[in-house]
Structure 1
């Protein structure tokens, strides 16, 4: 499913125009990105939690040359599915 298809489903499910559904979806995505960027955890009941994950610096290996290379520490995004979401996926 892509963004357009999701927008259409939101529009139909909430009985609102596609343009309004698109604004709602874009607003939700923007707010989640903004909050996680500020190191806040975003919890959505029945879906899960979005959170910032810190990955430590480490040594890696270039597969084509075999040389060791330093991989810098980065911030990444994690998602933890809720128990209800996991149950639904496992029972469908």
Structure 2
């Protein structure tokens, strides 16, 4: 499912216009990005948590010539699926 399909499902499920559904989804995405970039954890019950994390610098390898390459430290986002989400995935399609 891509973003357009998700917007259509939100609009149908909430009985709102696709424009309103797109605004809701864009607002949600914006708020999650802002919160996680501010070192907050975003927990959505039934879905999971978006958690900011630090990735330390490390040595990688250039796949072409095998030379060692320094990969800089960076901040990343980890998603931890909630138990309801995990259970639904393990149960299979609805």
**TM norm. shorter chain > 0.5:** yes
Runs of 4+ in 1 over 4 A off after TM superposition: none
Give the TM-score taking structure 1 as reference length.
0.96
Question: 1-side partners of 2:7 and 2:36: how far apart?
Answer: 23
Corresponding pairs, count: 92
| Partner secondary structure for residue 43 of structure 1 | strand
Question: 2-side partners of 1:83 and 1:30: how far apart?
Answer: 25
The corresponding residue for 2:13 is 13
Structure 2 residue 51 is matched with structure 1 residue 56: no
The corresponding residue for 1:72 is 72
Give the TM-score taking structure 2 as reference length.
0.94
Where structure 2 has 5 or more consecutive residues not aligned to the other structure, the ranges are: none
C-alpha RMSD of matched pairs (Å): 0.8
